[in-house]
Amino acid sequence: MFQKFLTGKTAVITGSNSGIGLGVAEELARAGADVVLNSFTDRDEDHALAEKLGKEHGVTARYIKADMSKGDECRALIEQAGACDILVNNAGIQHVAPVDEFPTEKWDAIIAINLNSAFHTTAAALPLMRAAGWGRVINVASAHGLTASPYKSAYVAAKHGVVGLTKVTALETAEEPITANAICPGYVLTPLVEAQIPDTMKKYNMDRDEVVRNVMLARQPSKEFATVQQLGGTAVFLCSAAADQITGTTISVDGGWTAL
């Protein structure tokens, strides 16, 4: 879809050794960007994944361990990357429980990883973008950054916060060649979601198609999952010249969820 117009740019993608983050990294690398993958582990397979990605797309790819629940490690990730023309804040976790039963430690962890990390990485990356004369901040929010569901108080609060942070970042950089936007996915077919389908089939005594359509995608009018490639393509578009005047907004990739 896009030629290698990002050659010479460096993209840092948090939470990117699987799922959405890896899909975004793949598409940015396909467009020519050097990429920095990240998660909280430091396994041989993490570094091998980066090496494989780099070879496949002819770019430099590295893996840097950093715990996104810790502000100092978030900032150190950007420092160790050495350059950050494109920042994709993707790291996130989830927990489901009623407000009055929501474990405090789960609330704190979700806010730290899903919201606070985006603040710390953005604060560290903006000076590098300004020095380079160009930058893109892309925050992976959620349909839950625009609407709500019961039992997801921390996640909804964090994702709404990410959308707000995106707007503030955009306003503070509005007269510079830097943009900040949030991608708001609905349900995305990741390995984690795929792994949940068999148990859900047993729970509801349904076949796979029924579970996907009537349970997992009950709120997604298209009745189709978004794909990590689609989210990656959206990120690549936001890095293109066509998106130079798109800033401070949300782009929903949710099959019509937020149109309801």
Residue positions annotated with a catalytic role = 155
Q: Which phi and psi (to 5°) does residue 252 adopt?
A: -85, 130
Q: What is the sign of the dihedral through the CA atoms of 126, 253, 157 and 195?
A: negative
Pairing mode of beta strands 250-253, 86-89? unpaired
DSSP conformation class of 2: -
- Which of helix, strand or coil describes residue 139? strand
Determine how many CB atoms are found less than 10 A away from the CB of residue 76. Answer: 17
105: Cβ contacts below 8 Å, ≥ 6 apart = none
Calculate the dihedral angle through the C-alpha atoms of 81, 82, 85, 86, rounding to the nearest 10 degrees: 10
Distance, in Å, from the CA atom of 153 to the CA atom of 171, rounded to the nearest integer, reads 27
Determine how many CB atoms are found less than 10 A away from the CB of residue 19. Answer: 19
